[in-house]
Amino acid sequence: MLVLRRLLLSMMLLSVPVSETAAHSLRAPRDTSGISIPSLSHGQMEVVARHREEIHALASWVAVKDAEIRKLLAFSRTQFARCLWGLMPFSIQDEASPMNECSHAYLAADRAMLVRMRDLPFWQDRSRSLFDVVDKEMVEEGASLVLCIFSATDFNTASPVGPDWHDFIAHRPSLIVILLAGGTVMAVLALGTWTVFRRPRLAAA
């Protein structure tokens, strides 16, 4: 009966319609003592995400020489971890995702690093070349025109942003992943428990 009730509950949750506007609300930085990070548009997120590894590789070199890059790089990595390392589906593409705001945060930091590295005297050829590539793609794709509710949100390195956990029920792809992950964990624990209690019986036999 317990298994049946859980199955019925899962089906009810998955039947909840997904709203395009969702229950998101803008959250201003609680602490503004750190570095202010300008917002970026929804379209710009996808372009920056494609070049994130290149930006971080370059930033890891520049961070040794520039304190602001160090702080931005640390903030971006913290935000990425808070967004479950990008493992949730549609966290960047879907405004309704509970991970969308924190994705905006780490990608805004990545873009801020790229802009600053362009103007620093370290590895200028590489930083300016990477900036030009990203900027060209944004122009060609009209990325600045694709907006969402978080496109007007500025961030601050002193105020990390977490996911909107209460929105998981409304976002079907995220809910499915959570249910599957929870089911997998329960199955592994059940198998482990069964194995532990099964061994004495096998030994006695």
What's the pTM?
0.72
In terms of average pLDDT, the best of 12-21, 81-90, 147-156 is 81-90
Distances from the Cα of 158 to the Cα of 30, 59, 112, 129, 195, angstroms: 8, 19, 15, 30, 47
Q: Which two tokens stand for residue 5?
A: 């009730």
pLDDT (0 to 100) of residue 14: 37
In this predicted structure, the answer to whether residue 33 has a pLDDT above a threshold of 70 is yes
Helices in the chain by DSSP H: which ranges?
2-14, 42-50, 52-62, 67-82, 100-119, 124-140, 172-204
Q: How far apart are CA 177 and CA 183, in angstroms?
A: 10
Of residues 186 and 53, more confidence is placed in 53
pLDDT (0 to 100) of residue 184: 60
Q: How far apart are CA 182 and CA 115, in angstroms?
A: 41
